Amino acid sequence: MKSIVIYSSQTGNTKKLAEAVYSALSGEKSIYPIGEAPEPSGFDLVCVGFWLMAGKPDPKSQEYLKKITSQKLFLFATHGASATSRHVQNAMEEAIRLAPESDIIGSFSCSGEVNPKVIEKAGSKPEPPAWLDDAPKAVGHPDQADLKNVIRRLEESL
């Protein structure tokens, strides 16, 4: 199987998950940051990792997801919110909607430590974002358990 791992990461959180996903794949494989990613055609499995922005995959990831057609697709994400929050569920649902022709084989998300400047800026808004209360719990994530869990979820999906 020919696989590709594409990731968008501002702070390194999603990159950590991408590297774990890449390490778990066998066969012909490659990994790229989203700004250097080739077209997804020609790959049997496309794994796309993203961070959340306004409750959706970041803009570059949204554009890349739209390019995926009939390939198998594994989604993974990092965020400041609780993994079980409606905020995260909505973001994953949006990612799935962006690649309607793909064969979604699985997904994974976990908390990712949020830059303190982002927390400060978000906290100063008249209506703070939904994830702000969860952000302190994201410190230190993704951790080793998160990396093992993304690999386990990928392996269960294949």
What CATH number belongs to 2-157?
3.40.50.360
pLDDT score at 60? 98
Confidence class of residue 72 from pLDDT cuts 50, 70 and 90? Answer: very high
d(CA 34, CA 24): 20
Q: Tell the residue number behind the tokens 């250097």, with chain if given.
A: 36
Q: What is the DSSP letter of 134?
A: T
* Region of poorest pLDDT, from 9-18, 19-28, 132-141: 132-141
Q: With contact defined as beta carbons under 8 Å apart, do 102 and 123 qualify?
A: no
Residue 48 predicted with pLDDT over 90: yes
pLDDT, the chain, mean: 94
Give the pLDDT of residue 23.
98
- Pair 45, 3: CB distance under 8 Å: yes
Check residue 135 and give its pLDDT. Answer: 87
User: For residue 118, is pLDDT > 90?
Assistant: no
